[in-house]
Chains A and B, each alone.
Chain A
Amino acid sequence: MATSVAIPAPFSDNLFKRLARLIPGLFLLIAVGYAGKFVEQSIARYGKAYHLTLPNIEYVLWAILIGLVISNTVGIPAAFRPGLATYEFWLKAGIVLLGSRFILGDVLKLGGVSLVLVVIEISISLLFMTALGRAFGLTPKLTSLLAIGSSICGVSAIIAAEGAIEADEEDTSYAIAAVLALGAVALFTFPLIGHWLGMSDTSYGLWAGLGVDNTAEATAAGALYSDAAGKVAVLAKTARNAMIGFVVLGYAIYWARKQGTAGVGNKAAFLWRKFPKFVLGFLLISALATAKFFDGGQLTSLANLSRWAFLLTFAGVGLRTNIGEMRKQGLRPFLVGAIGEVAVALLTLGLVLGAARFLH
């Protein structure tokens, strides 16, 4: 009798198939992002042609809104989803390229202030979320995941912690759902509150970077306020992301001791594995720009490349936000997340307003 033997496809073949699956969603990201830019420019041209003073609504908001309309009306077919998920790739590439718009001295000054605030924010919010999770009777690991997600960087931090503390899939999905839903709410409430309080671009950008969980939503919330606020939001969020390894390591050691399982082993290797590498890319490009490695035209090109990458990110933020799906989630994890988020937003707002004199 003939036996069938599964012959693994060569890696290049697999790679080609995987890349091909990205194409439909990638085209959708480009189409939605470009539509956002087209609407902004069309309104500006119309106003100029007819001498009308029309509100200047940035492409960021249009791209998110168009994505939201598509996602919540016709929906996103399965064939588009792998490509849509690349928005996180474009976000990280965009952050690295954004380094060209920063002088290293500014990065160190603003990043230094951000790091101090980040350490205070992380310490208080971890303690607060842990107490809140216990009060609401959530499982200890779900509480840990929610605390990590809301204090550092949302979904990425939860995914980084999931393996390290051996959380189960159920807890991980609840924590991710809460962070995603609350990120979408923060995206629109932060700019409104910032304008209402009359915050400066720097103060607001810092607040968005410290207070909004997911990097994509923090970048978008900053850019919705102004271009300058968007830059500062990315810098503050990057400082927050840089802490991910330390917090996850702390939780991994805590859970290993509590469960009596094998510890982390090589802590330096663990930290390097969890460290977001795009932070290093951002610092490298910023250092090169500071050393006058690029001329004016090249700096403009790099800044524009970063804008295009962010355009795809903002389209992805809108396209992946499904209000119907957001309603389908656990009430208690959501409540803990929501109360925690409001507390973190108020805490970071107080910190930023307190640090305002060091920012200018």
Chain B
Amino acid sequence: MAHGPQHELVSDEARTLAHKAKQGSAWPISLDAWAVAIALALTALVWVGWIKRIPW
């Protein structure tokens, strides 16, 4: 029979991520959608010339 690893330890970060996943996001818009929106907004600013040059 399969038995769980309940008595073993797990890292705090993994616990936090799992807890957040269970609770759901506090943000009304997903991280994905935010990232795409910001990237497209920056692209538009470069295209219209408001951002002239990004150095590296």
In chain A, residues 216-237, which have Cβ atoms closer than 8 Å to a Cβ of chain B?
Answer: none
Cα–Cα, bound, A181→B12 (Å): 12
Interface mask (B1-31 → A, CB under 8 Å = 1, otherwise 0): 1111110111111110111011010111011
Query: What is the distance, in angstroms, from B22's C-beta to the closest C-beta of chain A?
Result: 5
Q: Give the residue name and chain of the A residue nearest to B24 (CB).
A: A163
Contact residues in B for A332 (Cβ distance below 8 Å): 5, 8
Contact residues in A for B4 (Cβ distance below 8 Å): 138-139, 142, 170-171
- B53 near A174 (CB under 8 angstroms)? no
Task: Give the number of residues in A that approach B within 8 Å (Cβ atoms).
Answer: 62
Cα–Cα, bound, A320→B9 (Å): 18
Interface residues of A, dominant DSSP: helix
- B17 near A159 (CB under 8 angstroms)? yes
**Does A325 belong to the interface (CB within 8 Å)?**
yes
Known: A134-B2, A159-B21, A172-B22. A277 touches B36 (CB 8 A): yes
In chain A, residues 271-330, which have Cβ atoms closer than 8 Å to a Cβ of chain B?
Answer: 276-278, 280-281, 284-285, 288, 293-294, 297-298, 300-302, 304-305, 307-308, 320, 322, 325-326, 328-330
Cα–Cα, bound, A180→B51 (Å): 37
- B2 near A138 (CB under 8 angstroms)? yes
> What is the interface of chain A, defined by CB distance below 8 A to chain B?
11, 18, 88-93, 96-97, 100, 134, 137-140, 142-143, 155, 158-159, 162-163, 169-174, 176-177, 180-181, 276-278, 280-281, 284-285, 288, 293-294, 297-298, 300-302, 304-305, 307-308, 320, 322, 325-326, 328-333
> What is the interface of chain B, defined by CB distance below 8 A to chain A?
1-6, 8-15, 17-19, 21-22, 24, 26-28, 30-36, 38-40, 42-43, 46-47, 51-56
